[in-house]
Structure 1
Amino acid sequence: MACYFRRAIAEQVSRAVGVSSEKILHHIHAIPVHRKRESRDFQLHLKSLLNDPLDAASYQEKTEILTDKFISDSTISEFELARGVLTFTVNRPLLVKKVLHKIRHDGSRYGFTSELLSDVPKGLTLVEYSSPNISKKFHVGHLRSTIIGNFIANLKKAVGNEVIRVNYLGDWGLQFGLLGAGFSKFGCEEKLKSNALQHLFEVYVKVNAEADKDEEMKQSAYEFMKKLESGHPQALSLWTHFRGLSIEEYSKVYKRLGVQFDEYSGESFYIEKSQDVLNLLQNKNILTITKDGTGVVDLTENRDMSAYSTVMRSDRTSLYITRDIAAAIDRMEKYNFDEMVYVTDKSQQKHFQNLFKILKMLGKDKVNHCHHVMFGRVQGMQTRRGDVVFLEDVLDEARARMLQNMAKTETSKPIEDPADTAEKIGVAALIIQDFKGQLQSDYRFNWDEALQSCGDTGVFLQYTHARLQSLLTLWSTREEEDFNVSCLQEPTAIATVKHLLRYDEVIQKTLKELQPRYMVAYLMGLGHLANVAHNALHVKGSSQEVAHARLYLFNTIRVVLSSGMKLLGITPVDKM
């Protein structure tokens, strides 16, 4: 409901300084709640507003006019100008009434209907994320791509975009040639049936080790890939079998993470189209054939070949980047998207720079709407089972540790499915630990820190949500739309409402930078305020009118907390 107050402030400022209220609106910001002292509600930096080439005298004159003409009214109770910043305090009963009624009315859409987001471009967004290599177990290295991509897709959808979630599988290349060649020697159909990806991983490790010391095995891998690329029935059958088993196994892990995809694509889809790309590059005189027969694209402005990208092997087969070019062009033509977001680790930064540059050279203007969201590496997720870290093992570890913690906690309430609850809390712990910092930063995962029930953790958020949910059993009059605002004037209640007021600004900043840490910080602040309010604003023992108003407040906190958690990819629990 911040927009109601921003507009009231903007209209007064507009009358005073002669600047349109629409221009002023985006310069007014809610002031974050300070835990130890009370602060004003909104601020306006005058220099950001009066940024025309004014001399000091003109600027002083403008500010004096503003302070002389600005008056307190039924919406704005106080204002102050200090060091070029105008701050405002709004009418307290009106603040509580407007914010809580708006959350009650909008529900999970609260914040997303704000004027601040009205000019956000709407359209079709493709998000490509996760993208594991088939026939290999889901390595924990793909966790970040999966949860970050899921968060971006959730966010884009929440602000009104149509979203297509794409999983671009690594289902081609020499690693599959090694697996195909090695399966006849090291593979076992029985083991494949019982634990497909674990067995394929074991086969891959063995054949890879042998290829390092045996040139014949490496040659067999190349020959298998040639068979595959020429459409050999037996090779294709084995590839199709392994690919299907891989997707089936990945789907189980995705389900545990609460992640789903609209499209499973892969490098294999673009083998033929990559030849079209090579022809297109050649026709546009962009492809250069080197002495050894490989095809390269000169990426320099002055064509001195000091920077280039290899797009074709000497036998005219495609490379990873060639297939990525083909995939991008195909999606441009198939979906006519408004933006496409690739989510991969930062080691692929150069790859995407080259990809986007080549697409520009080919005249594909939609490349200007393609973005690469990078993230750093995570370390320290080793489980008790060993050093090779598979995501499934990490999820099992998180669930097991949470079950252990829940069993030790005396306040735990009876739960129908403790394992499912522990799973949801464990996933929340993984996501929050990952999202707390800058995405591009590497970080070291710490099990004990991630699974703490207090502090800024996913466990704390889940605990807070469950605590708020349990209060709703006391709310027998929850259908009543109104409440007595005079019952919610305590400093704790006001501080919480002011924090709820800022939700749209946090959504806006999160969307602008695609950094989940802003949402995490906001939810942590909301969680801590909720727990202070829970301890200070008692429901039991209060009059019916006071109890109803407080439950009304607690329910709006729960609605916003749940909304933000779901945006991050967390499924809130009702009991724990």
Structure 2
Amino acid sequence: MACFFRRTIAAKLGRTLQQSEDAFIPALSAVPVFKKQQTADFKLSISTLRIRGILPSSGDIQLQTEGLASRLEQDSVVEDISAGRGMINFKVNRKLLVQKMLEPFGKDEDEKFALNSELFNTLKRGTTLVEYRYVSVCISSFSTCNVFTCGLPSVRMNEFLCCSSPNIAKKFHAGHLRSTIIGNFIANLKQCLGYDVIRMNYLGDWGMQFGLLGAGFSKFGCQEKLKQNPLQHLFEVYVQVNKEAEHNEDMMQAARDFFRQLEQHESEAVSLWQQFREITVDEYQHVYKRLGVHFDIYSGESFHHHQAQEVVQQLHSRGLLKTSEKGTGVVDLSSTGDMSSVCTVLRSDGTTLYITRDLAAAIDRKEKYHFDEMIYVTDKSQANHFHQLFHILLAMGHSWADRCEHVPFGLVLGMNTRRGEVVFLEDVLDEARARMLHNMNQSKTTKEMDNPEDTAEKVGISALIVQDFRGALQSDYKFDWDRMLQAQGDTGVFLQYTHARLRSLIRRNEGVEAVIFDPSLLLEQTSITILQHLLRYDEVLYQSAQDLQPKHLVNFLLKLCHLIASAHRELPVKGSSQDVAQARLRLFSGACSVLANGMRILGITPVDKM
């Protein structure tokens, strides 16, 4: 596979320049391929060698490139070496390329393909805590709002760490989809690369938003409606009490009183909070199951409200806690110490704030789980919250805060269903399934299957994920039902269709594929191009691990599917001799395995029929 060739070329360079072969690994990369275009397999960046001090940084770079290329000799592995513009190109022996790249797929090592690459040796593997949290976004009107991050009406902003975790007593909003699938991708990626991953769902189950709900339920709530449709009724109450609180100071005071009762553990308030929390968790578990998302731990703000007071004491003892003119507790974040930039950590009535509980949660996580890194994923408007969080943690003496990371994402524009603009996640999932089922029923190529609705659900979710992951996470994008569900474009449907087609080909030829195959029967350019593309798989995973962006893997898999489509036409299995059929099946099986593994990292469940 790729690591064999990369290591061989690096060794050749090491001998020539009298350096360790490890020094050349980062400078070598597989050459991207284009349909029916013959290219080299690997390229060496001379600029990278100059930057790393392996070659002199002065002088003409092209003369340096040509000079080094002329000193490198061909051998049984590398059959051609040429100088390009600041690059040296390496073409490996074609028969050896086929043999080495397809070798793992005959040894039941499909899932390990490319994961033993030397590129991953530089990764600091350890324990990664992926904390899933929800952001509550203030929106003034449901009837006109057509931009979603993760929210429902709220009196303040909540933050969300690495995935979905909504506030209790609120239905899963459509915006939860983006944060949920991003967090799931990051956890999957880290896990496949050998990290110990802890998936934590961190519920927004504390704070003034619950004070509002508790006060609102006493005025607008109905136990009978709560029994009939629990979360829907709580949602209606929450919307109603927010509208009331906009112009009624008494209602806001009632909310503050209820939250204070909750923080003081008064039984009536706690009992209502527990009831609402259980209702909410039951609802969320159902939605998570549909998305194929699981958690190791369920936690929440409520777990840390006592510890938040301890954080306040620690801030005070370190001299970091100041009192503002309004009587609130603040931390001075200004570089000059003139209070020009402060973060409020305590209300004037002594109750804690979201960031106070966040500080307590981060400290508690480190003590309990000894994580090496913690990843927060929220919409990009939350950058300031995490800047303040990390700043305060460092000021408190927690150097590990440098290993906490915020991954921002943009907004989803125009995510509507046919039922209207107030979108809940289950409505989106239902509509994706219904539209996909309709498309499958209309297609002449749809296969008979035991559970077409389940297939439609998986393919529909694939379409949602791929549309979301095509671009940079921090970019906003416009939601488009029709484009998302196309079978021929660069969509999740296309990924699933390609996988199902490959699985069908393998099923139809059971007994043909053999452990041993003849590599010389796969030397057509169509075969070579697929294998050259697979050379890049470890680089794509490595790049994804560096910036935590799923677009690299999505685009790699979509390109693979296009190459497979060409191979289907040009490399028929049916009607070929047994030796040729065996070789081509090995190629298609290998491509199918990589496609399926990549889809699973993205959070997509591959289907075998559609």
TM-score normalized by the length of structure 2? 0.92
Q: d(CA) in 1 for partners of 2:415 and 2:62?
A: 58
Of 299, 302, 321, 1:268 maps to: 302
Whole-angstrom CA distance in 2 between matches of 1:45 and 1:342: 34
Q: 1:510 to 1:504 in 2, by over 3 A?
A: same
Contact 2:65–2:88, Cα closer than 8 Å, also in 1: no
- Measure the CA separation in 2 of the matches of 1:36 and 1:61: 31
Residue 68 of structure 2 is aligned to residue 66 of structure 1: yes
SS in 2 for 1:44: strand
CA distance in 2, matches of 1:188, 1:454: 50
State the match for 2:127 in structure 1: 124
Task: Supply the distance in 1 between the matched residues of 2:444 and 2:70 (Cα, whole angstroms).
Answer: 61
> How far did residue 37 of structure 1 move?
1.9
Relative to structure 1, the CA distance from residue 181 to residue 160 in structure 2 (aligned partners, 3 Å threshold; closer, same or farther) is: same
CA deviations 1:375-410 (Å, max 9, x no partner) are 011011110111111111000010000011011001
Unaligned runs of 5+ in 2: 133-163
C-alpha separation in 1, matches of 2:60 and 2:276: 73
Distance of 1:478 and 1:289 partners within structure 2: 78
The 1-side partners of 2:219 and 2:19 are apart by 78
Do 1:134 and 1:247's aligned partners in 2 also have CA atoms closer than 8 Å? yes
Using the TM superposition, give the Cα deviation of residue 61 of structure 1 relative to its aligned residue in structure 2, in angstroms: 7.7
Residue type of the alignment partner of 1:88: F
Q: What amino acid is aligned across from residue 254 of structure 2 in structure 1?
A: S
Contact between 1:13 and 1:66, CA under 8 Å: does it hold in 2? Answer: no
Contact kept, 8 Å, 2:129 with 2:373, in 1: the verdict is: yes
Deviation at 1:36, TM superposition (A): 4.6
Query: In 2, Cα distance between the equivalents of 1:116 and 1:320?
Result: 40
Q: Give, in angstroms, the shift of residue 64 of structure 1.
A: 5.7
Matching of residues 95-244 of structure 1 within 5 Å: 95-105=97-107, 106-129=109-132, 130-244=164-278
Instruction: Provide the rounded CA distance (Å) in 2 between the counterparts of 1:109 and 1:192.
Output: 49
Q: Distance in 2 between matches of 1:528 and 1:479?
A: 23
Structure 2 residue aligned with 1:82: 84
Runs in 1 of length 4+ with deviation above 6 angstroms? 58-61
Q: Does the 8 A contact of 1:17 with 1:65 survive in 2?
A: no
| Structure 2 residue aligned with 1:40 | 40
User: Residue 62 and residue 204 in structure 1: after superposition, are their counterparts in 2 closer, same or farther (change >3 A)?
Assistant: closer
Q: Tell me if the contact between 1:16 and 1:65 (Cα under 8 Å) persists in the aligned partners.
A: no
Q: Does structure 1 residue 25 correspond to structure 2 residue 25?
A: yes
Shift of 1:291: 2.5
Which whole-Å CA distance do the structure 1 matches of 2:549 and 2:283 have between them?
30
* Equivalent runs, 1:338-487 vs 2, <5 Å: 338-477=372-511, 480-487=514-521
What is the CA distance between 1:167 and its match in structure 2?
1.4
- The one of 340, 347, 370 equivalent to 1:313 is 347
Cα offsets for 1:297-336 (capped at 9, x unmatched): 0001210111110001111111000000000111111111
For 1:269-308, list aligned pairs within 5 A: 269-308=303-342
* Matched letter for residue 22 of structure 2: E
Listed one character per residue, the Cα deviations across residues 388-438 of structure 1 (whole Å, up to 9, x for unaligned) are 111110000100000110110011001111111000000000000000000
| Alignment-mate amino acid for residue 113 of structure 2 | Y
Which deviations, in whole Å up to 9, do the C-alpha atoms of 1:103-124 show, x marking residues without a partner?
Answer: 4432112121111112211111
Compared with structure 1, are the counterparts of its residues 197 and 8 closer, same or farther at alpha carbon in structure 2 (3 Å cutoff)?
A: same
- Determine if contact 2:46/2:61 at 8 Å carries over to the other structure: no
CA gap of 1:463–1:63, structure 2 versus 1, over 3 A, is closer
SS in structure 1 of the partner of residue 122 of structure 2 = coil
SS in structure 2 at match of 1:164: strand
Structure 1 residue 364 displacement after superposition = 0.4
Q: CA deviation at 1:12?
A: 1.7
* Residues in 2 aligned to 1:257 and 1:379: alpha-carbon distance in whole angstroms: 21
Instruction: Count residues with an aligned counterpart.
Output: 576
Tell me if the contact between 2:105 and 2:586 (Cα under 8 Å) persists in the aligned partners.
no
Deviating more after overlay: 110-119 vs 307-316: 110-119
In the alignment, the residues of structure 2 paired with residue 173 and residue 266 of structure 1 have an alpha-carbon distance, to the nearest angstrom, of 11
Q: Residue 65 of structure 1: CA displacement?
A: 5.3
Which of 521, 525, 532 is the matching residue for 2:559? 525
User: Is the CA contact 1:311–1:322 (under 8 Å) kept in the aligned structure 2?
Assistant: yes
The percent identity for this pair of structures is 55
Map of 1:11 onto structure 2: 11
Secondary structure of the equivalent of 2:175? helix
Query: What amino acid maps onto 2:115 in structure 1?
Result: F
How far did residue 365 of structure 1 move?
1.0
Counterpart residue number, 2:153 = none
How far off its partner does 1:206 sit? 1.5
Q: Could you say if the C-alpha distance between residues 292 and 69 of structure 1 is closer, same or farther in structure 2, counting changes exceeding 3 Å?
A: closer
Unaligned runs of 5+ in 1: none
- CA RMSD, Structure 1 to Structure 2 (Å): 1.6
1:477-508 per-residue CA deviation (whole Å, 9 max, x = no partner) reads 36732101121111111101111111101100
1:538 to 2:572 alignment = yes
Residue 292 of structure 1 and its aligned partner are, at CA, apart by 2.2
CA separation of 1:440 and 1:253: change in aligned 2, threshold 3 A = same
Deviations 1:83-130 (A, max 9, x none): 331101111111001000134432112121111112211111101121
* TM-score computed with the length of structure 1 as normaliser: 0.97
Q: Does the Cα contact within 8 Å between 1:180 and 1:224 map onto a contact in 2?
A: yes
One of 51, 54, 57 as aligned partner of 2:56: 54
1:489 pairs with 2:527: no
In structure 2, relative to structure 1, the CA distance for the partners of 1:221 and 1:446 (3 Å cut) is same
Q: What code does the residue aligned with 1:483 have?
A: F
Q: Distance in 2 between matches of 1:55 and 1:344?
A: 41
